[in-house]
Structure formats: structure tokens, C-alpha cells
Amino acid sequence: MSAVHGLIPFVVADYEGNEHTYEMTLMPAGDGMQMSYELMGILAAPLAALSKGGGDDDEEDAALADLLGPALSAVEPTKLTNLSKKLLATVTRDGSPMRDHALDVAYRGNYTEMLVALSKVILENRFIPLLDGWMGTDESDTTTNPAG
């Protein structure tokens, strides 16, 4: 299956540099809407402020850290953990679904890989419109009306 059908393969390296093959499915809209709203509630204000910033990459990285730190510290860790588990439930790592014991084993002392996988799920599902051009459009994906 292809991304059009909802199955998206990707590779993420663990803390030792070993590559792991992931496959994720796009979230069904009913579940995805709730997760999108939760994520936007956490990240929309910091991302909006950052998008207005301008400047070079180092300044943007510093601004992102300054903005996300307070935003994430305001979120209850249990809520963020539960949301992360829901997001990872759509993912397999080396053929194993990232749930329950498999999730605990795969990411023990390996949180960077987990965060990379989470970011891939968030970006592929287009949960945060500010990361996808607020109206959900991609300026590079424009078509010309042949009649006009």
C-alpha cells in the first residue's frame, strides 16, 4: 500500500545508530480530529509566534526552545503520555506494533527515537495546520486551470 492508502514506511535510528523499519497508518478521522485538537492546543501558540519571527536558523531554534519549553511544561505529563501512546498505536517498529510491552522495550532509554517516530506520525497525519500552511495547502502543489 502507499501513503494514499494510509500505509507509510520510514526508518529511524536508535541510540546506537541501528536503523529500525517503521510502518504507520494514517489516523482515522474520528480519532484523528481529537488528537489534532489536543496537539494544536499544546503547540499552536508557540508555533504561531515562531512563524512570525523570521531571522536565521539559529535564532529560530532558540526561539522554538524558548516557546515550546513553557508550552509543554503547562501540559499535564499524564495527558501528553496518553496522547503519545495513542499516536504510536498506529505504528509498527520492525514488524511489532508499538503498544504495551513492545513500546516499553523499544523505547527504554531510547526516547530520541521515540520522539522522532512521534514527530513523523504528527507530520504525516497533518495534525497541526501551522506546519502544513494554515489552510492545508501546499504552495508547490498548485494547478493551472486550462480553461482560464
- List per-block mean pLDDT (blocks of 10 residues) for the chain, which spans 148 residues: 69 95 92 87 66 58 63 73 91 95 94 93 83 51 43
CA distance 95 to 56: 40
**Residues 8/113, Cβ–Cβ less than 8 Å:** no
In a domain, 137, yes or no: no
- pLDDT at residue 14 in the model: 94
pLDDT value of position 127: 84
Q: What is the CA radius of gyration of the chain?
A: 17
In a domain, 142, yes or no: no
Residue 51, pLDDT score: 60
C-alpha dihedral, 80 to 86 to 92 to 98, nearest 10°: 70
Residue 47: per-residue pLDDT: 62
Run of H or E including 118: helix 111-125
Domain assignment present for 117: yes
Domain membership of residue 93 (yes or no) is yes
Q: What is the pLDDT of residue 91?
A: 95
The pLDDT value recorded for residue 139 is 47
Residue 146 placed within a domain: no
Residue 68 to residue 82: CA distance in whole angstroms: 19
Q: How many domains does the chain contain in total?
A: 1
- Residue 136's pLDDT is 43
Q: Any idea which residue has 514506511 for its cell?
A: 9
The interaxial angle of helices 29-51 and 57-73, nearest 10 deg, is 130
Residue 80 lies in a domain: yes
| 148 falls within a domain | no
Question: Residue 44 belongs to what domain range?
Answer: 3-132
Q: From residue 33, give the alpha-carbon distance in Å to each of 21, 48, 119.
A: 27, 20, 17
Q: Is residue 78 part of a domain?
A: yes
Specify which residues 20 forms β-bridges with: 12
**How far is residue 55's CA from residue 62's CA, in Å, rounded to a whole number?**
11
CA 133, CA 131: separation in Å to the nearest integer?
6
